[in-house]
Structure 1
Amino acid sequence: MLTSKVAKRYAQGLLDFTTESGQTATVFSEMKDVVKLMSESKDLNKFFLTPYIDAKKKIEVANEIFKGLSVSSQNLIRLVIRQGRESQLKNIAQEYINKVEDINGIKRITLTTATEISDANIEQILRSTHLVNLNSNFDLKKEINPNILGGYILRVGDQQIDASVKTKLNQVKKDFQLN
C-alpha cells in the first residue's frame, strides 16, 4: 500500500520527537492501538471524514476516545485534526509503526491464503523460502483472500512469492493462447 507524503511527514516528525524524548516504545504501542481502533470502527472513520463537523467538535470527541493515550499521542491527534488531516490519522499511525520497526530491524511479512491455515503450515511455508530467516525479528500479518483459489502469496518487504492457484491457472491460460 502506498503511503501519502502527509502520513510520512507527520510520522517522521512524531518519530523525531519521541526519539528525543525517549517515548518511542510508549507511542509505538499507542499507535498500534490507534490503527486497530481506526480499522475496526467505521463510525469513527465516518465521523472524522464528515466535512460539516468542525475541528473543535472532532477534537472534543478525539480527546474522549483517546484519553488513555500519552500526551504526545494526544497532541499529535489534535494537531492532525486542527490541520484538517484527520482522514490520514490511520495512515500516519501505521507509517510511524513501520518506521519504528525499520529502525529495530523488524521485517514485515504478509502471508495471503485462500482459507485459514494452521501455524505448522505457516511455519513450513516460511521455512521453504530464502526470503525469511526464522531466527530474525519479523511481524507476520495473515490475510485471507478466497479469490486466489489455493496456494499462497508471501510478501517480505518489497519481494513477493506468488504460489497461488489463480496465478498458475492464469499462466496456463497464457501458454495456451500463445500456442
Structure 2
Amino acid sequence: MRTSKVAKRYAQGLLNFTQEAGSTASVFGDMKDLVNTIEKSKELQSFFHSPIIEVKKKISVSEEIFKSFSPVTRNLIQLVIKHGREAQLINIGQEFINKVDDMNGVQRITLTSATALSDENIKNILKSTSLVNHNNQFDVKSIINPEILGGYILRVGDQQVDASVKSKLSRLKKEFQLN
C-alpha cells in the first residue's frame, strides 16, 4: 500500500518535533496504539471518513478515545482533524512508525500465509532466507490470505519470496500452455 504525501509530511514533521523534544519513544508507542485502534474499529474508520460529522464532534470524540496519549500525540490528532485530514490518521501513524523503525535499523517483514502460522513456523521461515538480516531487529507482520491456498509469501523491504501454492500452480499452468 502506497503512503500519501500528506501522511509522509505529517509523519516527518512529527518525527522532527519529537526528536527535538526528546519524546520520540512515547509518541512511537502512542502511534502504535492509534494505528491498532483505528485498524480494529470499522466504526471509527467510518467516523473519521464521514464528511457529515462536524470537526468539533470529531475532536471531542478523539480526545475521549485517545485521552491516555501524550499531549504531543493528542495535539497532532487535533491538528490533523482541524485540517480535514482525519481520514489520513492511520497512514500518518503508520508512516511515523516506519520512519522510527528505519531510524533504529528495524527491518519490516510481511509474511502472508493461507492459515495462521505458529511462532516456530515463522522462525523457521525467517531462518531459511537470506533476505532477513538476523543481526538487526525485525518486525514481522503476519497476514492471512486463504487465496494463496498454501505456502507463504515473504516480503522484506522491497524484495519478495513467493513460495505460495497459488503461484506454483500458476507457473505450472503457463508451462502446460506453452507445451
Aligned residue for 1:168? 168
Aligned residue for 1:123? 123
Answer yes or no: is 1:107 the counterpart of 2:71.
Answer: no
**Match of 1:52, SS?**
coil
Deviation at 1:91, TM superposition (A): 0.4
Which whole-Å deviations, capped at 9, do the CAs of 1:28-87 have from their partners, x for residues lacking one? 000000000000111111111111111111111111111111110001000000000000
Which whole-Å deviations, capped at 9, do the CAs of 1:99-148 have from their partners, x for residues lacking one? 00000000000111111222222111111111112232000111111111
Aligned residue for 2:68? 68
Distance (Å, rounded) in 1 between the aligned partners of 2:123 and 2:68: 36
TM-score, normalisation: structure 2 = 0.97
Aligned residue for 2:23? 23
Where does structure 2 lack aligned partners over 5 or more consecutive residues? none
> Percent sequence identity over matched residues?
65
Letter in 2 for 1:51: P
Aligned residue for 2:85? 85
Answer yes or no: is 1:42 the counterpart of 2:42.
Answer: yes
Distance (Å, rounded) in 1 between the aligned partners of 2:154 and 2:102: 19
Letter in 2 for 1:24: T
TM-score, normalisation: structure 1 = 0.97
Equivalenced residue count is 179
Deviation at 1:94, TM superposition (A): 0.4
Where does structure 1 lack aligned partners over 5 or more consecutive residues? none
